[in-house]
Structures are given as C-alpha cells and as structure tokens.
Chain A
Amino acid sequence: MSTVSPAAEVREFDADAQALFRYVLRLGDLSLVLGQRLGEWVGHAPALEEDLGLANLALDLIGQARSLLTYAGEVEGRGRGEDEIAFLREHGEYLNAILAEQPNGDFGQTIVRQVLIDAFQLELYQRMTASTDPRLAAIAAKSVKEILYHLRYSRGWLVRLGDGTVESHARVQSALEALWPYTVELFAEDELDRMMADRGVAPRLSDVQAAWRGRIDEILAEATLQRPKDRPHSWHGKRGQHSEHLGYILAEMQHLQRTHPGARW
C-alpha cells in the first residue's frame, strides 16, 4: 500500500492532462498546417475543379483542426479557445510532423503529400474510433468519413499522374523521392506516442504504419511508381522543431489576429 499526498495527485493529474494536451495538438496541428497549405492553391489550381477540390480538402482539415484544438484548450484548462491556440502560438509550440508544412511545389507534389498524409490519417483515425478517450473517438469517427473522400481524390490524381505521360510520371516520382523521408517522422514513436497507446487513447504507431504501408504500396503499384528507400531521419516537428517553411505559413496565417488581437468574423 502506498499513500499519495493530495499535492502529488494534483501533479500527476497535471502531467496526464499536459501529455494529452500535447498529443491532441499533434493531431490538430497536422490538420491545421496542411489545411493552410492547401488553401494556398485557391485561385491557382490547374483547373476550376481542382481549385474546388483542394479548397474543400482544406476546409475539412481546418474543421477537424477546430474540433481538436478546441478540445486541446479544454484539456489544458487555462481558458484558451481554438482561435488563441491556432493563431497565437509560436513556431516551436506547433507539434505537427513536418511533412505537412512542406511546400506545395507543383500540383503533383501537392498530390503526393496529400496521398501520404490522407492514408496516414485514415489508418490512424479508423483505429482511434475505439479510443478510451470518448471525445477523440467521436472526432475520429467523424473525421474518418471525410478523410476517405480526401484519399479518393488524392489517390485518383496520383494514379492519373503516375500512370500518365512521361512528364507527369517523372514529376510525381521525383516528388515522392523528395517527400518520402519525411514520412518516417509520422511513425517514429516517442515517449508521448507510447504513453497514449498504453492508455488506449491512440493506436500503436507500428500498427498504423503497417496498414499505411500496405495501402501506399497498393496505390503506388497502380500509379506505376517506385517506393523510395527508407532512410534514417532527424525531423522532430512533433516536438516543435520545424523547418523554416512553418515560419512563413504562420506569418500569413497569424497576421490578422496578431495585428488586430481578438478580431472576429
């Protein structure tokens, strides 16, 4: 038998809440940053239909981010709402894997990034519908339906471009080579990921990775693309260490709230 002092209990609760807060930020920031990136295509996509498609993907992702960041604010318990968390944090406080912040490049590169992340989110959220955290389970169940349509869109384009002309094939293959190393971070399990899996809040990343690989291999085969070789990585966006790209994204995304604090639509 051990006795725990009330103060120690409070500290333990705080540590648990802090861990969940950081984990939910990882999920929410991935959606927010990718949504913001996709928004850059509005008015610039190769055709009106793709303008609509990418804008709608962005909209869904930002909607998912809203649910997640609102929840993160509640878990944190310091009265921060979705807007404060999205618009008033600094560079190092964003916890998205850095694949999400990679530049759009050409349409093919955007599609490659999208397929890689859509398939990750699909496998992750499908499993998270069984989370021991009811709020995350609900957000996951809602998100997974939307993500299915994202993957249908991105996969459809990757197959058309990969199995298209010599030029389109070469472009998406080279985008795949460029972006592949960043996928390692999605599945690199650290202490926080392990803690969430142990508590049943999140699935094991190794399970998510195995399913993701299967799905990606099937899509790449259909698109006649070669899966690049795995290389060791040293990216730590999930711990707040980002590429320089994130700074430019935040400058644009946060400009309005920082110039006119508290502005509302």
Chain B
Amino acid sequence: MHAETRDPASASVPADGDRRVSLAWRALAAVDDPEIPALSIVDLGLIRSVELASNGTLEVGLSPTYLGCPATEVIRSSVEHALGGAGVGAFAVINVLSPAWTSDWITAEGRRKLESYGIVPPERSAASLREILHPHRAVGCPRCRSTDTECVSEFGSTPCKALHRCRACLEPFEYFKCI
C-alpha cells in the first residue's frame, strides 16, 4: 500500500464529508484513461472507494488494471491532480491490489462508450480458467456484427486489448479482454 497525503490550497474551505465525497467522484469522473481516452477511470471501475477516514483525510482507493500497465503512474498523477483542484481537502490515494481489478467492473456506461469507440467490450464474468485457455467463442465485429471474425494478435496496443479482424467486412478491430 502506498499513500500520499496532499493538502491542496483549497483545503482552507471546509466542506462537509458528503460534499467532499461527491466533489471527489465528480472530479474523478472527468479523469480520462490515458490509453483509451473515450473512457474515464470511473467508467473503467478503477476507483474502488472514496471514503472519509476518521482523521478527516479523504481516502481514494485506486486499482491498477495490469501490474505492468505503463498508464498506471499517469493515472495516479492525474487522479492526484484532479483531486487537488477539486477542493476536496486533504486526501490520500491508496493503491488497491486486492481484490484484483476485473473487467467485470467496467460500468454499463463504460461498456457503451467502449463500443461506440470501436472497441468490443469484454465478455462478462472473467471466465473460468479453461475458457481463457481454450477460447471457443468468436468475438462479434463492432461494425457489421458478423461473428465470422479471427484473432490476429493476442496482444494489441495495450496489454488489455487483442487485435481481431472481421472476415465479413474485412475491417480490423480491437477487443477488450476479459480478465
């Protein structure tokens, strides 16, 4: 666990607990994912909790998607920046490893945004082990809806996505992997 406490200049304006929590959520909802800017980190389900600790610090629980995801540090500093400018008072960003982030936590709004951005949202419910090791279902094309598609690469521009190609409309597309 890493925690950093910041005291932004606006901390001098006291706000009650509920107000601080809702200000924080509003600020966090405006933080885009650096690699999929169509989605906010709240859409991705990366914010696990926003809670007022007994010492008055607002604790924000943040989960990484993948342990080696290069965006993790950018996200963390964007979160700190957004909270610092939102007048939420003293806050701490806490790294939450457990329970491990799952693609099931992407919100309904997040799934809708992914789809309209051209990325197929992950299948629900991170899969039994066997299902990941022996995939049998084809991913549907986000453009023409055909299921006559093939996986071109298990890994795409980020670890969380795979590259696919539609054999019907011949367009390439990305699939957000179920994890």
The reply to whether the CB of B156 lies closer than 8 angstroms to some CB of chain A is yes
Task: State how many residues of chain B have any CB contact under 8 Å with chain A.
Answer: 27
The reply to whether the CB of B53 lies closer than 8 angstroms to some CB of chain A is no
B106-148 to A contact mask, C-beta < 8 Å, 1/0: 0000000000000000000010010011010000000000000
Chain A CB within 10 Å, residue with most, of B64, B98, B152: B98
Chain A contact residues: helix, strand, loop or mixed: helix
Asked whether, in the complex, the Cβ of A66 is within 8 Å of the Cβ of B67, the reply is yes
Looking at the assembled complex, report how far the CB atom of A41 sits from the nearest CB atom of chain B, in whole angstroms.
Answer: 13
The reply to whether the CB of A137 lies closer than 8 angstroms to some CB of chain B is yes
Looking at the assembled complex, report how far the CB atom of A74 sits from the nearest CB atom of chain B, in whole angstroms.
Answer: 10
Asked whether, in the complex, the Cβ of A142 is within 8 Å of the Cβ of B100, the reply is yes
Asked whether, in the complex, the Cβ of A49 is within 8 Å of the Cβ of B100, the reply is no
Asked whether, in the complex, the Cβ of A59 is within 8 Å of the Cβ of B68, the reply is yes
Chain A CB within 10 Å, residue with most, of B129, B132, B157, B159: B159
Asked whether, in the complex, the Cβ of A64 is within 8 Å of the Cβ of B126, the reply is no
Option from A49, A134, A156 in Cβ contact (under 8 Å) with B152: A49
Looking at the assembled complex, report how far the CB atom of B150 sits from the nearest CB atom of chain A, in whole angstroms.
Answer: 12
Asked whether, in the complex, the Cβ of B99 is within 8 Å of the Cβ of A153, the reply is no
- Chain A residues near B69: list those with CB within 8 A: 59, 63
Option from B66, B97, B133, B157 in Cβ contact (under 8 Å) with A148: B133
The reply to whether the CB of A213 lies closer than 8 angstroms to some CB of chain B is no
Residues of A at under 8 Å CB distance from B?
Answer: 48-49, 52-53, 55-57, 59-64, 66-67, 134, 137-139, 141-143, 145-146, 148-149, 151-153, 155-156
Residues of B at under 8 Å CB distance from A?
Answer: 64, 66-70, 97-102, 126, 129, 132-133, 135, 152-157, 159, 163, 177, 179
29 contacts between A and B (CB under 8 A): A53-B155, A59-B69, A60-B66, A60-B68, A60-B159, A61-B68, A64-B67, A66-B67, A67-B97, A137-B98, A138-B97, A138-B98, A138-B100, A139-B67, A141-B97, A141-B99, A142-B67, A142-B97, A142-B98, A142-B100, A142-B101, A143-B67, A145-B102, A145-B179, A146-B179, A149-B132, A149-B154, A151-B133, A152-B132
